[in-house]
Amino acid sequence: MIRAAIALLLTLCALPALAQDSMPPAPFAYNQLDDPRLEAEATALMHTLRCLKCQSQSIADSDAPMAGDMRHQVRSRILAGESPDEIRRWLIARYGDYVSYEPEVSATTWPLFAGPLLLLLVVAGVLLRRLGKRRNDGGEAA
Amino acid sequence: MIAEIGLAALWLAAALAVLQMVSGAFALRAAEGEVNPLAIYARPAAVVQAVLAVLAFIMLLWAFAITDLSIKLVASNSHSMKPMLFKLTGTWGNHEGSMLLWVGVLALSGGLLAGFEKRLPARTMGATLAVQGFVALGFYAFLLLSSNPFERLPVPAAEGTGLNPLLQDIGLAIHPPTLYAGYVGLSVAFSLAMGALLTNQVNPSFARVLRPWVLGAWVLLTFGITAGSYWAYYELGWGGWWFWDPVENASLMPWLAATALMHSVSVLAARDALRTWTIMLGVLAFSMSMLGTFLVRSGVLTSVHAFAVDPERGAFILGLLLLYIGGAFTIFALRAGAVSEGKRFAVTSREGALVFNNVMLSAILAIVLLGTLYPLLTEAFDVRVSVGPPYFNPAGAIFAVPMFLVMAVGPLLRWKEDKPKRLQFELMLIAALVIGTIALVSFFGQFPLLPLLGLGLAAALAVAAFLPLKGRKLSRVPVATWGMVLAHFGVAVSLFGMACEGAFSQERLAAVAPGGTEQVGDFSFTLESVTPVAGPNWTAIEARLAISKDGGEPVILAPQARNFWSPPMATSESALLTRWDGQLYAVVGNQAEDGRWQIRVWWKPFVTFIWYGGLLIALGGILAIAGRVKVDVKRRVASAKGAERRADIEALGAAAPVPAE
């Protein structure tokens, strides 16, 4: 608990520094958490968050200073006991839907989920039509 | 003079494309068995065009080799101090150069088709060449009107700007040319499909003409994607090998379509079934190639708005895309009714399994297409969403898992109709392998679902790949069948690598003082020293890491953090320790204030199998081509011998023997 409190304090101290690229990276940008379970949780989350300054890279795959700061945010919040979902929501509230690689069903993203469902139906239809009936060789042209 | 020769060659090639198109179209007006006098120019036009386009590309290559700074493209993308290899590869490390390579390969494959393909009926060949010329003309126009690679500067530059350091790697020599050759090889498949559709010649002998082109393009695509994935893996410095980046998706989509097309062509050649389906896939495959070119070349990926502000190039390719894809699908819709569906077959037959997997591949293609285009679509309405691995992986798996299961069984089925009962033993074996592997792995720990499924499927596929050889005399198995076995085994190997990387990777990020030791998996690494080093156009910090497994003899790895000065950019050069059972991946980062160095090390078990698998798949394709060519040559020799003998007999004046039939 004390460690969590210190980490939170450190996070708050580090916040003003986030704005400047020339500052040294935040402590958890390039350092892992000691607890392997928490670190695994943080890594899984980081792989699904977008580095906003890069082209198509997650914050776990980037050297950009901003990605480092976001990694620090994720790790310190996990250490403070927040759940990955809470952190994701906090980041989305700050940076918008764009920051999360895991699209959630919403007014703007529903086609992404309707698409595969529709596709499943179409695929089932095509297969039933092509393969459903047993046909004899030399049948008529379609 | 170099630039002027190149430009002139390009204009001439464009003019020949017009000739090829018009002359090819006249072949359609000839009556059956006759040759239209205006149709004879199509073939020579295609061949000469190929020579001219390749000449233009060589001229640009030459300009880059001598760093001719009076040419705008060279000045803005090259540098006199760059190593020779990167001067040459820099030719296609930019927009104009890569489009010239694209067009060069397009003309070359058209020329090869015109020069060497003698089996097709004259009308079909004419239509095919007309379509090929039409496609080429569009891209010549794009190159000449909106992205001229040979543009001169009013005053030559004193020094070039240089090439993006991430591209200064041997990967640039391999990845784009093979990928482009694959992309563009599909243009021949497209033209052939359109030619056959227009002249109603969709039949097995057409499929045999089409097959080597599809196989060749598919092998090159497979190789290009594999090389690109490994390049991204070691160059980007974070150990990822596939990012579902739109640029990667742009190369994956034609591959998926080409894979489906290749299998469909085999069915058409062997069984005269799936006629319309094959044509549709042929159109789809090249459409995906052009869509990929549009995505990568239009600037639409950096930002939809950047594309809207400077739309000339993007709009041009988009126009070409709509013209060709729209035109092709219109012709398909109008003519497909005239093509009969071909021979029928039962559900449980090899054709049935192939159709199932064709549909699954198309479904995966649709998922990738949706996930790639949807963010671009919403961005146009100022809503920004990100679609990444958490979407693509599960959505793709819905279709990939059944596909892999059917792929294990499909090659064991008989053509036309088969009884599942006959394969009871094999089916039980495959099911046991999937379930057994998953149970065994879950016994040792908690792993994510998809890698677990991947491991089970990989085990089953690896065994199932060799089942078609069961009970056959190995020395008499055709080469093409070996190709299939090898390629399917390659899929299993690759899947195994992906699953292991996903489930068992270990990561260690740490700030290490010189002399300090850290641990990752079974390996311990000691930071021995950090020293500055210099290259031809960069300076770097090099870390020496002594790596030892379980306290054994240490091996030295030397990752670097490089700083290039033209253009100024920092990159990390990872150092890799490759063992048979995986790779150790080390990167050095910045120095912290207390003097310690940021070191990142991963142990990735069996990660190399991803690319070994890719190479096996490509090798399988090469074997398949070799096998087909061998059979074809044998047949030609036999028929030539037969003709010779008949001629001899006729010359002797004897009555020709009646062929026994």
Q: What is the pLDDT of residues A112-138, one digit of tens each?
A: 888 888 888 888 887 777 665 544 443
Min Cα distance B280 → chain A (Å) is: 14
* The three-state (H, E, C) secondary structure of B124-177, written as one string: HHHHHHHHHHHHHHHHHHHHHHHCCCCCECCCCCCCCCCCCHHHCCHHHHHHHH
Task: Give CA–CA dist B422/B202, Å, rounded.
Answer: 34
Domain match, A31 and A93 both:
yes
Partner A, chain B 596-635, Cβ-Cβ below 8 Å: 598, 600
Nearest beta carbon to residue B385 from set A31, A97, A135? A97
> Is A138 an 8 Å CB contact of chain B?
yes
What does the pLDDT read at residue B366? 92
- Contacts with B562 (C-beta within 8 Å, 6 or more apart), sequence order: B165, B535, B538, B539, B540, B570, B571, B572, B573
- For B349, the token pair is 């037959």
Sign for the pseudo-dihedral over CA of B156, B159, B165, B170: positive
Report whether B390 contacts A101 (CB < 8 A).
Answer: yes
Peptide bond into B156 cis (omega under 30): no
What is the three-class DSSP state of A29? coil
Task: Give CA–CA dist B499/B491, Å, rounded.
Answer: 12
Domain match, A126 and A75 both:
no
Domain match, A129 and A81 both:
no
Residue A22 domain-assigned?
A: no
Report whether A33 contacts A7 (CB < 8 A).
Answer: no
Report whether A95 contacts A69 (CB < 8 A).
Answer: no
Task: Give CA–CA dist B471/B478, Å, rounded.
Answer: 14
Domain match, A61 and A130 both:
no
| Residue labelled with tokens 């089932």 | A124
Flag if B355 and A127 touch (Cβ within 8 Å): yes
Domain match, A79 and A58 both:
yes
- Number of CB pairs, chain A paired with chain B, less than 8 A apart: 130
The more confident residue out of A142 and B436 is: B436
What does the pLDDT read at residue A137? 40
Task: Give CA–CA dist A47/B245, Å, rounded.
Answer: 13
- For B496, the token pair is 């195994």
Percent of chain A with pLDDT over 70: 73
Min Cα distance B178 → chain A (Å) is: 24
Angle between helices B170-198 and B275-297 (to 10 degrees): 140
Domain match, A90 and A117 both:
no
Domain match, A126 and A92 both:
no
Q: In a mutagenesis test of the B interface, which of A41, A53, A104, A123 is the best target, namely the one with the most B β-carbons within 10 Å?
A: A123
- For B157, the token pair is 């530059």
- Contacts with B309 (C-beta within 8 Å, 6 or more apart), sequence order: none
Domain match, A72 and A137 both:
no
What is the full DSSP assignment across B410-475?
Answer: GGGSPSS---GGGGHHHHHHHHHHHHHHHHHHHHH----HHHHHHHHHHHHHHHHTTGGGTTS-GG
What does the pLDDT read at residue B621? 94
Task: Give CA–CA dist A47/B394, Å, rounded.
Answer: 15
Task: Give CA–CA dist B485/B617, Å, rounded.
Answer: 9
Residue A88 domain-assigned?
A: yes
B471-529 residue pLDDT tens: 888 888 888 899 999 999 999 999 999 999 988 988 888 888 888 888 888 888 899 88
pLDDT along chain B (661 residues), means of 10: 89 94 84 72 91 94 89 86 85 87 92 87 89 93 88 84 80 87 91 90 88 94 93 85 88 94 91 87 91 81 60 81 90 82 80 89 93 86 84 91 92 84 87 93 88 94 91 85 94 95 88 87 88 87 89 88 82 89 89 84 93 95 91 86 87 64 49
Backbone angles phi, psi at B639, to 5 degrees: -70, -35
Flag if B238 and A116 touch (Cβ within 8 Å): no
For residue A85, the chain B residues in CB contact (below 8 A) are none
Backbone angles phi, psi at B171, to 5 degrees: -55, -35
Conformational region of residue B110, where left means phi above 0, alpha means psi within -120 to 50, and beta covers everything else: alpha
Residue A12 domain-assigned?
A: no
Task: Give CA–CA dist B48/B368, Å, rounded.
Answer: 39
Task: Give CA–CA dist B185/A122, Å, rounded.
Answer: 30
Q: Render the burial of A95-126: b for 16+ CB within 10 Å, e for the rest.
A: eebebbbebeeeebbeebeebbeebeeebeeb
What is the full DSSP assignment across B24-65?
Answer: HHHHTTSPTT---GGGGGHHHHHHHHHHHHHHHHHHHHHHHH
What is the three-class DSSP state of B402? helix
What does the pLDDT read at residue B263? 93
Domain match, A136 and A88 both:
no
**CATH of residue A37:** 1.10.8.640
Q: CA torsion, points B391, B392, B393, B399, in degrees to nearest 10?
A: 120
Structural domain count of chain A: 2
Whether pLDDT at A19 is above 50 = no
Flag if B384 and A102 touch (Cβ within 8 Å): no
Find, in chain B, the residue whose alpha carbon is nearest to that of A137.
B344
Find, in chain A, the residue whose alpha carbon is nearest to that of B363.
A119
Report whether A82 contacts A40 (CB < 8 A).
Answer: no
- For B648, the token pair is 């001899």
Band (A18; pLDDT cuts 50, 70, 90): very low
Flag if B371 and A50 touch (Cβ within 8 Å): no
Whether pLDDT at A12 is above 60 = no
Find, in chain A, the residue whose alpha carbon is nearest to that of B339.
A141
Find, in chain B, the residue whose alpha carbon is nearest to that of A60.
B238
CA distances to A29, B299, B526, B599 from B516, rounded to whole Å, are 20, 46, 6, 11
Task: Give CA–CA dist A64/A46, Å, rounded.
Answer: 14
- Contacts with B58 (C-beta within 8 Å, 6 or more apart), sequence order: none
Residue A130 domain-assigned?
A: yes
Residue A34 domain-assigned?
A: yes
Report the DSSP beta bridge partners of residue B568.
Answer: B565
B506-512 β-sheet, strand order: B506-512, B597-605, B582-591, B575-579
Task: Give CA–CA dist A68/A70, Å, rounded.
Answer: 5
Whether pLDDT at A23 is above 70 = no
Flag if B359 and A136 touch (Cβ within 8 Å): no
For chain A, report the end-to-end CA distance as a whole number of angstroms: 72
- Contacts with A9 (C-beta within 8 Å, 6 or more apart), sequence order: none
Domain match, A132 and A98 both:
no
Domain match, A114 and A98 both:
no
Residue A11 domain-assigned?
A: no
Backbone angles phi, psi at A11, to 5 degrees: -60, -45
What does the pLDDT read at residue B27? 83
For residue A45, the chain B residues in CB contact (below 8 A) are none
Partner B, chain A 108-137, Cβ-Cβ below 8 Å: 108-109, 111-112, 115-116, 119-120, 123, 126-127, 130-132, 134-137
> Is A62 an 8 Å CB contact of chain B?
yes
Min Cα distance A121 → chain B (Å) is: 11
What does the pLDDT read at residue A8? 44
Angle between helices B389-409 and B350-380 (to 10 degrees): 170
Flag if B366 and A115 touch (Cβ within 8 Å): yes
- Paired sense of beta strands B597-605 and B575-579, if any: unpaired
Domain match, A95 and A114 both:
no
| Domain region containing A97 | 27-104
Band (A11; pLDDT cuts 50, 70, 90): very low
Task: Give CA–CA dist B268/B264, Å, rounded.
Answer: 6
Whether pLDDT at A139 is above 50 = no
> Is B340 an 8 Å CB contact of chain A?
yes
For residue A57, the chain B residues in CB contact (below 8 A) are 236, 243, 245
Residue A90 domain-assigned?
A: yes
Nearest beta carbon to residue B355 from set A109, A116, A130? A130
ipTM of the complex: 0.76
Flag if A116 and B395 touch (Cβ within 8 Å): yes
What is the full DSSP assignment across B76-134?
Answer: HH--TTS-HHHHHHGGGSSHHHHHHHHHHHHHHHHHHHHHH--SS-HHHHHHHHHHHHH
CA distances to A116, B69, B81, B249 from B155, rounded to whole Å, are 55, 9, 21, 41
Residue A10 domain-assigned?
A: no
What does the pLDDT read at residue B583? 92
| Residue labelled with tokens 């397009």 | B106
Angle between helices B312-335 and B275-297 (to 10 degrees): 170
